[in-house]
Amino acid sequence: MTATRIAVRGDSPYDVVVGAGVLGELPGLFRPGVRTVAVIHPAGLPEISRPVCAALSDAGLDVVALPVPDGEQAKSVEVAAQLWSALGRYGVTRSDAVVGVGGGATTDLAGFVAGTWLRGVQVVFVPTTLLAMVDAAVGGKNGIDTPEGKNLVGTFLPPAGVLCDLATLQSLPRADYVAGLAEIIKGGFIADPAILALVEEDPEAATRPDGRHTRELIERKIRVKADVVGADLREAGLREILNYGHTLAHAIERAEHYHMRHGEAVAIGMVYAAELSRLDGRVGADLVERTRSILTSVGLPTAYRADAWPQLRDHMRLDKKNRGAEQRFVVLDGLAEPARLEGPPEELLEAAYQAVTQ
C-alpha cells in the first residue's frame, strides 16, 4: 500500500506518513546527524516497540529502549524524571533523538521529555492507537498530568515526523478503537462534515480497522488537525476549536481518576457542547440529535451521572482555555462552524449538563 504524506506546515514543518507496513519510512524522518535514538514505549506492550527498534538498528542507529508504565500512569513528573536520568546515562545529545511508540499517553510523555531534555531534542512519534494517530501525535502539544488536572504541565514542540502504520491497528482492542472514533467524529463536527457522512453510511464498518472507509476517515481527521495546528501551534486562537467537547471531557476523566477512555469522555463532552450551543440559541435540536445518533451508532457513550455536576463544575474551572475567572467553551454556530462561548451564566452550564445526564 502506498504511503500518504500529509504536510503539517508552520515554522517547523513536518510530515505525517500514513499507510500499512510503512516502518521503513521511519529513519528518513529524522534530521541529519542522529546517532542515538531513545525509544520510549509502554512496558506492557514490548511487541509494539520491537519492530521500531529493529527498523532503526537496521538503519545503523544506536537504539536505547526505555519502557514506561502503560496508559495515563506514564504521564507523571516522576516518570519524566526517570527518563531524563536515562537519557543522561546513555549520552543522548542535542543531535540525537527520541521516538515515542504507543498510544497518546506515551507520545505526550515522549514529546514532553524530548522538549525538556537539553532544552529540546528532536522527537518522532509512532502512534499505535487510533486516538494517537488522529489526535495526540499530531500538533506538537506535549504534556504530563498533575493531581490538579490533565496536561497542565507541558511544552510546544513539533515532532520531526509522525509515522502512522495502519497495520498496528489490527491488534487494537475494539473498545480502544471505538474510543478513538470520537476524535474523528469531532473533526467532522468542527471542520469536515464528509467525515460524518462516511460514518453514517456504514457505522459498523467505521468501528473496524479494516472498514471500507477506515483509511479515508483517518487521513481526513489528520488533515483537519494539520490545517489547524499549522496555522496556530501555540493555541493562540484557531487551535482552540480542537478542544470541542474537551472541557467537560477532561473533568469527567479526572472524576474517573483517568480510568475512562479519553474518547469516551470526549463523546459525552461533545453532546454537552452541542446542548450548550443549542441552549445559547446557536444551533437547533437537529444538530444535537445528529451528535447523539452518530456517537450511539458506533457504540460511544452520550450521557453521564446526574449527581456528578458539582464535582465536574469544580474540575472545569481549571481548564487551559480559561482566562482568569472567565470560563470559555468551544461551541458551534452551525455544522463545521466552531465558535467560542465566553463567561456563560451558571444556569446555562447546568441546564446543558442536565440534558446529558443518565
Q: Binding site for NAD(+): which residues?
A: 70-75, 104-108, 128-129, 141, 150
Active site residue 213: no
Active site residue 119: yes
Active site residue 315: no
Active site residue 262: yes
Q: Could you say which of 243, 278, 292, 315 is catalytic?
A: 243
Burial status of residue 286 (CB atoms within 10 A of its CB: 0-12, 13-18, 19 or more):
exposed
Which amino acid appears at position 209 of this protein? P
Helices 77-89 and 104-116 meet at what angle, rounded to 10?
Answer: 60
Q: Could you say which of 186, 225, 254, 315 is catalytic?
A: 225
Q: Could you say which of 89, 119, 257, 259 is catalytic?
A: 119
Q: Could you say which of 183, 219, 240, 275 is catalytic?
A: 183
Q: Could you say which of 186, 215, 223, 262 is catalytic?
A: 262
Q: Tell me phi and psi for residue 165, to 5 degrees.
A: -90, 105
Active site residue 313: no
Q: Could you say which of 215, 239, 261, 315 is catalytic?
A: 239
User: What would the 3-class secondary structure string for the chain be?
Assistant: CCCEEEEECCCCCEEEEEECCCHHHHHHHCCCCCCEEEEEEECCCHHHHHHHHHHHHHCCCEEEEEEECCHHHHCCHHHHHHHHHHHHHCCCCCCCEEEEEECHHHHHHHHHHHHHHHHCCEEEEEECCHHHHHHHCCCCEEEEEECCEEEEEEEECCCCEEEEEHHHHHHCCHHHHHHHHHHHHHHHHHCCHHHHHHHHHCHHHHCCCCCCCHHHHHHHHHHHHHHHHHHCCCCCCHHHHHHCCHHHHHHHHHHCCCCCCHHHHHHHHHHHHHHHHHHCCCCCHHHHHHHHHHHHHCCCCCCECHHHHHHHHHHHCCCCCCECCECEEEEEEECCEEEEEECCCHHHHHHHHHCCEC
Active site residue 215: no
Sequence ranges of the binding site for Zn(2+): 183, 246, 262
Q: Could you say which of 41, 141, 215, 278 is catalytic?
A: 141
Active site residue 239: yes
Q: Tell me phi and psi for residue 339, to 5 degrees.
A: -145, 175
Residue count of the chain: 358
Active site residue 243: yes
Active site residues: 119, 141, 183, 225, 235, 239, 243, 246, 250, 262
